[in-house]
Structure formats: structure tokens, C-alpha cells
Amino acid sequence: YFKQINLSTPATMVMPTIQCGVSDMPVVGLGTWQSDPGVVGTAVEHALNNNYKHIDCAMVYCNEEEVGAAFNKVFSAGKVKREEVFVTSKLWCTNQRPDKVGPACAKTLSDLQLDYLDLYLIHWPMHLHPEHEKGLFPLDDEGKAIPDPSNPSFAAVWAEMEKLVDEGKCKNIGLSNFNIEQIESILTDCRIKPACLQVESHPQLPNLGLLEYCKKNGIAFVAYSPLANPGSKFRRPEQKNLLDNDVVKGIAEAHSVTPGQVLIRYQVDKGNAVIPKSVTPSRIVENLAVTGFSLTAEEVDKLSDISKDFPAPGYRTCGVKHFGGHVNYPFKSEL
């Protein structure tokens, strides 16, 4: 799966890459979801100064201006060049209307202080009301999502995403949180194929069927929440901490690494990219240091089997079930 592998120390290692459209995507990146303003910029700066070459962003995280300031500071210093870093951002649901795609991307580029994105994703398949008083999360009095009344099609929105590639604003375009049927609808009508699918993936929810589909169709698979969100503000009371799982801990002990490193390497050994989030300097460095070991096929299978402790397809930590009534909600079978 990999373009290059160098099993050297974190300070000098060359990170493996996978093909993502026309680009090479480093397999480990820094996620910025739930990284609060005031700390996210420092985290991004620390990551870039410690050999990270992949940063994952999104407008709805409400921190892109601070991330952009960190980009500007690091790139201006000259130690790291912009073209060495793979940067992703995402089109939010309230901008999933053809006339809003271009302006939304322009705002993200301005906030991130960049001339182009390496990857721009449709964040979720649900279009939401673009001009509602409740802003980015328009919900009615019953807590249900308010869709865009114009009901824009995937094909119409995707055509505008393709124009961003034509204009040089994005090198690649892709999808996030789409199911197979929804991806198929894009593939049927597209001029530029989705380069990537970004979804939640970890041993409690390995998404193996979706992964197989992506590999068959030449779509890069990027795993978010690879540790199953142990510190998430959306964590549910019944959620089991994957870092405390006996199988994970046993494999970590066998390789003399941390449980978190096992969960990150789990994605790498399946040929995926992975974007663990952290704002803790030592953890940021630790999360990248996963090229010095690899898991056996048996260990990967043991980790995937953890999902069998839950009803199929597994335990999803980011289901945004308040959007469950939307016609395009991707996980209807899990409601």
C-alpha cells in the first residue's frame, strides 16, 4: 500500500504515504476536531515542527483562523515548506448548495492563509438550511435537523467541487461520512472521482466493508477518531474506553508501545491514513512515532474482532443522531 517506509527515529523518519487522487497523503496526520481555540494553533505549530506533514481541518470546527495563523508562522520561518504539508478541509452541511461551494472554500483558504488545499471534502451527506438563525446546526424545536429547502442534489454540489479542482483551489476532492450507496451516486455522475473517504474507524467500528469498497474503487480511506474518542465532549456514559481493552493492551505490551500507538498502527497496517487528534505536545509526538513497529495479520484481525462485542456494524462514537431524520442520513440502519 505504501509509497515509502523508513523505520528510523521520529526526528528523521520519512512518513509512509498512500495515494490520494493526484497526491501522496502521509499516513499519519494531526486531527483538529474538538481542539479548542487558544490551544489548537500551538498544537498545529508543534506538530509541524516535529515532522508532521498532514493536517486535517474543517470550517465547522470553528478554529481555522487560528490554524491558519500557525501555518503562516511555521511556513514563514522556512523550516517547513507549504508544499511539504498535506492540508485537508471540509465543506459544511449549511454550504451544500451549488452557489455556496466556491465562497465556502474561499473562506476556508482565507482563514487558513493558504492558496490551495490538498484535499477538500463534503463533510457529511446531509444538506442543512443555509440561512437559519441557529447557524451551523439548524435544528427545529424537537431537535431535528432542518434541511436545505432547495434540496440540492449530490451531483450538483459535486460539480461545483470539481470546479475548485479546475481553478487550482483544491488538488483533490472527496467525501466524509458517506455510505456506499451515496458514494455510488457520486461515482455515477462525476467527472472527477472522489479521491478519499474519511470516516470514523477503530477496532470497535472497523468499517471493513466500506474499506474493501474503497480499495476496490481506488478511493483512499482515512480514519478519524482512531482511539474511539476517549476524551470526547460527546462521550456517552456507556461508552467503553478502547485504550483499556485487554486485547489492545496485550498487543501494546508485546511491542513495547502504548495502546494509542497500537490503534494508530492498526490503521496504517490496513493501508489507511489516520488523523489522531491531540493538543498535548508529548502525545502529538507519540502519535506520529508508529513507523518503528508493525502488527501481524493475526493482531490486526484480533483488533477488528473487538467490534463483535457490539451490535453490527460496531460502536459508533460520532453518529450525529440529531440529524437522523434527514433524508440523507448515512447510518439509518443504526438508529
**Active-site residue list:** 61
Cα angle at 30 between 264 and 173, to 5 degrees?
A: 100
Residue at 124: amino acid letter? W
Report the alpha-carbon distance of residue 13 to residue 81 in Å, rounded: 17
Tell me the three cell numbers of residue 267. Answer: 490503521
User: Strand pairing partners for 202?
Assistant: 205
The Cα 5–Cα 9 span in angstroms is 12
Cell of 223: 480514519
Report d(CA 193, CA 190) in Å as an integer.
6
Query: What are the residues whose beta carbons fall under 8 Å from the beta carbon of 261, sequence distance 6 or more?
Result: 252, 255, 286, 287, 289, 290
Provide the grid cell at 45: 505549530
Residue 73: other Cβ atoms inside 10 A: 15
84 exposed, middle or buried (CB, 10 Å; 0-12, 13-18, 19+)? exposed
Residues, the chain, total? Answer: 335
- Phi-psi domain of 109 (left: phi exceeds 0; alpha: psi -120 through 50; beta: other): alpha
What are the grid coordinates assigned to 295, written together? 502488527
- d(Cα 65, Cα 110) in Å, to the nearest integer? 8
